[in-house]
């Protein structure tokens, strides 16, 4: 039975993750997955389902108005690379969740640390749009991370924000890719019979916090420069990643789940 205090803590973590996401355009899934792994509040396989549900809910709100801005060819190419790797990543998560908690924490911690670097080092813009193989490749990387932890963002953010495309086009296209990745991943979970009974309850607890946090961050953003905000988010992600990896290296986490 999930207590009120656990639901309140989850809502608070979702609030912080959504606030950072709104200000920086990045890191909701990574921050929330990292926080849940550190607190042990929700097992990682179940946490990934919850993140998928919250990502999908956010995407529905964003795309209700912005779906016309999706750039079709990069969108389809990225999905073509992503969806098979979502299945592969989900298979790896299922295997490691049953056999090696330490390996799962190492992979998530390393992904968070590498991804945090994107917040302080922006990709160099390209003179012309990338070819199809590049979108397939970065889509596949995003799909692998999406299958593992419902955090497909980092490789795709790196790829799309280098393109000579308007910001709104990039944003809406990425949100659409993340949404379909989440739908596909949730379908895999249901087909495999791995749906966790409490996942919907966690998502319902987090959804109001995400909505309120997003509104507050947009309506009254802190009086800080974009550079300062990105650096603060970088530090938060970096500490989260190091905190996941360090106990494994020091032997404080058992090798098996």
Over residues 127-143, the pLDDT tens digits come to 899 999 999 999 999 99
What pLDDT shows up at residue 123? Answer: 66
Nearest to residue 160, comparing CAs of 174, 148, 150, 178? 174
pLDDT surpassing 50 at residue 40: yes
- Give the other-Cβ count within 10 Å of 252's Cβ: 9
What pLDDT shows up at residue 11? Answer: 94
Q: How confident is the model at residue 257 (pLDDT cuts 50, 70, 90)?
A: very low
Over residues 86-106, the pLDDT tens digits come to 999 999 988 888 777 788 888
Q: Are 165 and 71 in contact (CB under 8 A)?
A: yes
Q: How confident is the model at residue 85 (pLDDT cuts 50, 70, 90)?
A: very high
Mean pLDDT, all residues of the chain: 85
C-alpha distance from residue 130 to each of 81, 137, 161, 165, 236 (Å): 15, 11, 11, 11, 32
What's the whole-number mean pLDDT along residues 239-256?
Answer: 73
87 alpha carbon, distance to own chain's centre: 16
Distance separating alpha carbons of residues 82 and 13, to the nearest angstrom: 28
Angle at 116 between CA 35 and CA 155, to 5 degrees: 105
> Of 218 and 180, which is predicted with more confidence?
180
What's the whole-number mean pLDDT along residues 214-236?
Answer: 81
pTM, two decimal places: 0.83
């Amino acid at each position: 039975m999930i207590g009120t205090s656990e639901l309140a803590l989850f809502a608070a973590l979702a609030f912080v993750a959504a606030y950072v996401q709104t200000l920086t355009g990045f890191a909701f899934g990574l921050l929330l997955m990292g926080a849940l792994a550190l607190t042990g509040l929700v097992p990682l396989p179940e946490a990934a389902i919850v993140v998928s549900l919250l990502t999908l809910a956010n995407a529905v709100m964003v795309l209700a108005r912005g779906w016309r801005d999706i750039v079709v060819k990069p969108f389809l190419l990225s999905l073509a690379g992503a969806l098979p790797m979502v299945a592969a990543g989900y298979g790896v998560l299922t295997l490691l969740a049953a056999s090696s908690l330490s390996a799962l924490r190492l992979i998530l911690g390393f992904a968070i640390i590498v991804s945090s670097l994107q917040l302080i080092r922006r990709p160099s813009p390209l003179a012309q749009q990338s070819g199809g193989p590049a979108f397939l490749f970065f889509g596949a990387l995003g799909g692998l991370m999406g299958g593992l932890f419902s955090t497909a963002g980092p490789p795709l953010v790196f790829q799309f924000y280098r393109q000579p495309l308007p910001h709104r086009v990039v944003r809406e296209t990425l949100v659409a890719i993340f949404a379909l990745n989440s739908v596909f991943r949730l379908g895999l979970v249901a087909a495999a019979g791995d749906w966790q009974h409490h996942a919907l309850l966690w998502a319902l607890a987090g959804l109001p916090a995400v909505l309120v946090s997003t509104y507050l961050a947009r309506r009254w953003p802190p009086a800080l420069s974009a550079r300062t905000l990105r650096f603060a988010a970088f530090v938060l992600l970096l500490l989260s990643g190091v905190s996941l990896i360090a106990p494994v290296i020091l032997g404080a986490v058992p090798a098996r789940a």
